[in-house]
Every structure is written in C-alpha cells, then in structure tokens.
C-alpha cells in the first residue's frame, strides 16, 4: 500500500478528487467507461464536491455504492443523500448514472442479490470495479464490514446485509468484490484513526480493513491520522 500524507482533510479531499479524475480519464480511454464505488463520510463529501470541478469524462462515469444504511429515502444518514447533494447537483453526472443500493426493499437479502446482479451487468461477471473508495473507522472497520458482524465471513456473494450497527442495519459490498477492484483509494482523516491506520498499513487482519487486498491500494491521509508521519503534500 502506498501512503501519502497531506496537510488536512480538505487537502486530502482535493488530492483524492485529482486521483479519481485521472483514473476516470484512463478508464474511459481503455475501456470506454469508469465504474467507481463510493463510501460515506465527511471528508468523502468534500472529495465529491471537489471532483465536480475536475476534468472528468462524465458521460463514461458510473457511480455505485460501497455501503448504505437501511434508512428512509432522503434521510441525512443515507450516503445517497450526500452523493446527490455533492455530486449530482454540481456536475454533469445524471441521476441514472448513480446506482443506489435498494435499502428500501422489504426483503433486504433479495435486494442485495439484485444489486449484485446489477453490478455484474454493469462491470462484468464477476464484476470488476475500476476504483473503490474506502474509509477507515477508529475500530478498524471499512465499508460496513464491522468487527464481529457475520458479514465478515461472506465469501460467496458480492453484496450482503449486516446486523444493526450504531442504530442501522446496512447493505455493503463484501471482500470478494473489493478484492477484484482494479484499484482501492483509502481516504482517512482525523486523529482518532491513527492506531487503525497503523494497523492497516501493517496488514493486520484482526481488523476488518486489514483484510482488504493492499497491493493495488493508495491511502491519502491527513497529518492528524498519520500522527505527523511521512512526507507532506
């Protein structure tokens, strides 16, 4: 895993937007489309807002979700709400280019299976996502792969449903599809992430994030998360 340390969360967000835009241009040239999976979080919303200002081949872009809370449409805790507010309102991206997780379905397990099928139609069978954006929790979780949740053991499905965590059940991508991605972009900010980031860098599989394939990953982190380690960009 390559790690770049930036001054603060805003600098991380801008750097991430630049990386994503470059990946999108490369994918559009090579394969005619760019499929990106987006996670939630405060810094990612800054990242998506910055991405709207980048040179991106928007007609070739498809946004899918890494995870989503089982919450009502438009709820402020829904990641989709923030994707709409930060990216759809400020870029040429059209609503039909964003594939929302079907967390409104009465049968969440069936909804997860349908989302996996839709991913296969979009990105091949099995689906290969061009870039997966991930965050890191202080407890070492990523996506909605939370410590002790049975979803960590899912190896035969690309999308699964979790138990309740911090008040919400969630739908999430699983390790198999994360590890097939062409690239992983970690966006990590805040002093509460320092220990988890160190464990991630060490490949500590005792935390969920440490089980994600690392040989094609770039981590953009701020000085607080890095504990002042590394060069500054």
Q: What is the pLDDT at residue 230?
A: 47
CA 160 to CA 228: how far, in whole Å?
37
Burial category of 125 from C-beta neighbours within 10 Å (exposed 0-12, middle 13-18, buried 19 and up) = exposed
| Domain assignments of the chain as residue spans, ordered by start | 2-188
Instruction: Specify the 3-state DSSP secondary structure of 216.
Output: coil
pLDDT at 233 over 90: no
| Average pLDDT of the segment spanning 183-202 | 96
Which of 176, 147, 171, 146 is CA-nearest to residue 160?
171
Model confidence pLDDT, tens digit, residues 47-82: 999 999 999 999 999 999 999 999 888 788 888 998
pLDDT at 46 over 80: yes
Q: What is the pLDDT at residue 168?
A: 82
pLDDT at 45 over 60: yes
How is domain 2-188 classified at the CATH fold level? Rossmann fold (3.40.50)
Q: What is the pLDDT at residue 167?
A: 79
Model confidence pLDDT, tens digit, residues 84-124: 998 989 999 999 999 999 999 989 999 999 999 999 999 99
Q: What is the pLDDT at residue 72?
A: 84
Q: How confident is the model at residue 31 (pLDDT cuts 50, 70, 90)?
A: very high
| Average pLDDT of the segment spanning 172-198 | 97
| Element spanning 133, H or E | strand 131-134
Distances (CA, A) of 128 to 34, 62, 89: 11, 13, 27
Ranges of H-type helices in the chain: 9-31, 42-51, 79-83, 108-123, 175-180, 194-201, 223-226
Q: What is the pLDDT at residue 74?
A: 79
CA 2 to CA 214: how far, in whole Å?
9
Q: What is the pLDDT at residue 76?
A: 84
Percent of the chain at pLDDT above 90? 84
Q: What is the pLDDT at residue 128?
A: 98
């Amino acid at each position: 895993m390559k790690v770049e340390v930036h001054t603060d969360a805003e600098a991380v967000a801008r750097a991430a937007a630049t990386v994503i835009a470059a990946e999108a241009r490369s994918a559009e040239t090579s394969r005619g489309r760019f499929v990106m999976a987006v996670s939630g979080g405060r810094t990612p919303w800054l990242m998506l807002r910055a991405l709207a200002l980048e040179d991106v081949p928007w007609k070739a872009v498809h946004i899918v979700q890494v995870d989503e809370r089982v919450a009502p449409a438009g709820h402020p805790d829904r990641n989709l709400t923030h994707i709409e507010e930060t990216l759809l309102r400020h870029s040429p991206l059209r609503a039909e280019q964003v594939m929302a997780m079907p967390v409104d379905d009465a049968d969440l397990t069936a909804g997860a299976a349908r989302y996996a099928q839709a991913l296969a139609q979009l990105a091949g069978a099995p689906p290969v996502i061009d870039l997966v954006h991930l965050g890191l929790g202080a407890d070492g979780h990523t996506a909605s792969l939370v410590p002790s949740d049975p979803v960590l053991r899912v190896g035969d499905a690309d999308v699964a449903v979790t138990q309740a965590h911090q008040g919400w059940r969630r739908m999430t991508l699983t390790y198999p599809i994360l590890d097939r991605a062409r690239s992983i972009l970690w966006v990590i900010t805040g002093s509460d992430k320092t220990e988890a980031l160190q464990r991630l860098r060490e490949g500590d599989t005792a935390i969920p994030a440490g089980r994600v394939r690392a040989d094609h990953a770039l981590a953009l982190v701020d000085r607080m998360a890095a504990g002042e380690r590394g060069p500054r960009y």
